[in-house]
Amino acid sequence: MKPGQGATGGAQVKGLRARLQNFSIVSLRDLVVASGPTILLVGAALLLAYWWVDPAPPRSLRLATGQENSAYETFGKQYAAVLARDEIKVTLAPTLGSRDNLQRLLAGEADVAFVQSGSTDGDTMNADAEGSAERRDLVSLGSLFTEPVWLFLRAEANITKLTDLRGKRINLGPEGTGVPRLLRQVLDANGIAPQDLRIGDLADTPATVELLAGRIDGLVFSSAPEAPLIQMLLQTPGIKLFDFAQAEAYTRRLPFLTHVVLPRGIVDLGRNIPAQDYHLIAPTATLVAREEIHPALVGLLVKAATEIHGGAGWFQQQGQFPSPKYTEIPVAAEAARYYRDGPPFMQRYLSFWLANLAERLWVVVVALTALLIPLSKIVPPIYVWRVRSRVYRWYGELRAIEQAFEDSGAAPDDKVRNDLQRRLDSLEDRVNHISVPLAYADELYRLRSHIHLVRERVRGWQQEGTASDASHDATPGHPVRGSA
């Protein structure tokens, strides 16, 4: 083997492989070009649907909570932490409490809020508001937990029944908490007028300071037991909890209340705190939202509520809350569906945002599938036409050469013959550089055979012309070319 011969052979093999590979690439390119209009149409439809079919849920939420050191504040922080995992920023808005939260919802200053049962009755609405909460565009996302009425008293006050509160200094909290109205209903059921008490309106923390200092005789909270102030007062010597012995009767008179029992020793089993069972009356805390809240956020909030409130507690069993029950505001359709069927199918396996995108676009996908069925019948013929047109377009030039051959007549002409040969050579050279998918190689070879056929006709014509010239030169009276 001569030096360099092996390298040359290797280069030829590589060139052949590259050319065969190029055939396949051309096939893929033609397929993409043929299906391009369909791909663009589908992409444009999906993009349009992304923006218009159902707007994406907002990435921020305003949650009205409650006073400092309240259960509402504690739970609000937990909601913010849970929703942050799904990239939802929760802005916590401290408020006076349930009634303040309700009015912020009605004013559009909050998207979601904790609202106590009983707060939406009658005069809790603005003075100019008439009708029930559902006519004010509010929906419930479910009840979350019971909020017992905690009436803490100084032990020396010696109060055993509510009628003993006459003349005592009792703090009910600001009007925005909802507690003043609630206790007024309880006092009214006992025949006690509000003016019979020396009522204070301090917030929870300063009222606790006043109670511990002995400047007031008692204070009222309505809160979950997780509130830090509740936990502290239950263990403070000299402070006792009022026992609503007639709790069951209160639930008959005030339907939004439930009867709950604080079990003996639940606070501290070792120290037996409390030393007895306490009967309490309790409204229910509800998660309330404006009606226009995005449906996807409803499911996400109910999911968070299940994680935060779904366990067993002092006054509830495992899985009792959250619940579509115990709420006087109509439950949102998405929330009711979540309680009935669980989380949406997509959200069980995908992240919130990816599942939401899939749920928003599924209607469009179904419509596009129906559209793609007829479009899929158009793409293959377009693809075949593109590939074959690469070969067929040369037949026009080949036919023009053949027509020039036929129009030249029987008289041989060197100039015409040479011109036809040159055009055929040029055509064949260009055809040899055509790349087509291997499945359509027969079309290319058929063209090349047709070029060869026309070339043979021209050559036959040339041979006939040459023979005619020789015969003419050999006739009598005409010397033969090349003779002396």
Find the helix or strand (DSSP H, E) in which 257 lies: none
Output the pLDDT for position 14.
Answer: 59
Cβ atoms of residues 71 and 224 within 8 Å: yes
How many percent of the chain have pLDDT more than 90?
A: 44
Residue entry with tokens 């190689």: 441
Give the confidence band of 33 by pLDDT, cuts at 50, 70, 90.
low
How far is it, in rounded angstroms, from Cα 386 to Cα 31? 9
Cβ atoms of residues 105 and 64 within 8 Å: yes
Q: Within a 10 A sphere around the Cβ of 140, how many other Cβ atoms?
A: 24
Give the confidence band of 181 by pLDDT, cuts at 50, 70, 90.
confident
How far is it, in rounded angstroms, from Cα 381 to Cα 388? 10
Compute φ and ψ for 25, nearest 5 degrees: -60, -40
Output the pLDDT for position 291.
Answer: 93
User: What's the token pair of residue 141?
Assistant: 């996302």
Output the pLDDT for position 198.
Answer: 93
Output the pLDDT for position 327.
Answer: 87
Output the pLDDT for position 25.
Answer: 45
Output the pLDDT for position 123.
Answer: 43
Give the confidence band of 385 by pLDDT, cuts at 50, 70, 90.
confident
Q: What is the DSSP letter of 58?
A: P
Chain center to CA of 114: 25
Residue entry with tokens 């006690």: 192
For the CA atoms of 67, 72, 76, 77, the dihedral, rounded to the nearest 10 degrees, stands at: 70
Residue entry with tokens 């050579």: 425
pLDDT in tens, 95-139: 999 989 999 999 999 999 999 988 775 443 343 444 454 447 899
pLDDT at 29 over 80: no
Selected residue with higher pLDDT from 54 and 44: 44
For the CA atoms of 106, 111, 112, 115, the dihedral, rounded to the nearest 10 degrees, stands at: -10
Averaged over 436-451, what is the pLDDT?
A: 83
Give the confidence band of 27 by pLDDT, cuts at 50, 70, 90.
low
Please give, one letter per residue, the 3-state secondary structure of 231-256: HHHHCCCCEEECCCCCHHHHHHHCCC
Query: Angle at the Cα of 256 (from 252 to 261), degrees rounded to 5?
Result: 75
Q: What is the DSSP letter of 65?
A: -
How far is it, in rounded angstroms, from Cα 141 to Cα 63? 13
Long-range contact list for 47-54, CB < 8 A, 24+ apart? 49/360, 49/361, 49/363, 49/364, 50/357, 50/360, 50/361, 53/360, 53/361, 53/363, 53/364, 54/360
pLDDT in tens, 270-306: 999 999 999 999 999 999 999 999 999 999 999 999 9
How far is it, in rounded angstroms, from Cα 283 to Cα 258? 6
How far is it, in rounded angstroms, from Cα 83 to Cα 86? 5
Q: Within a 10 A sphere around the Cβ of 151, how many other Cβ atoms?
A: 23
How far is it, in rounded angstroms, from Cα 76 to Cα 407? 95
Helix residue ranges per DSSP H, 214-325 = 228-234, 247-253, 295-309
Give the confidence band of 88 by pLDDT, cuts at 50, 70, 90.
very high
Selected residue with higher pLDDT from 180 and 366: 180
Output the pLDDT for position 10.
Answer: 60
Find the helix or strand (DSSP H, E) in which 187 lies: helix 179-189
Cα separation values, 445 from 59, 398, 421, Å? 62, 14, 20
Q: Within a 10 A sphere around the Cβ of 293, how many other Cβ atoms?
A: 19
Residue entry with tokens 């779904």: 310
CA atoms within 13 A on the CB side of 377: 4
Averaged over 31-43, what is the pLDDT?
A: 70
pLDDT at 465 over 60: no
Selected residue with higher pLDDT from 480 and 102: 102
pLDDT in tens, 318-373: 989 999 988 889 999 999 999 999 998 888 888 888 888 777 777 677 766 766 67
Q: Which of 67, 277, 261 is nearest to 148 (CA)?
A: 261
pTM above 0.75, yes or no: no
pLDDT in tens, 221-251: 988 888 899 999 999 999 999 999 999 999 9
Cβ atoms of residues 262 and 241 within 8 Å: yes
pLDDT in tens, 391-435: 888 888 888 888 888 887 665 567 887 888 888 888 888 888 887
pLDDT at 149 over 90: yes
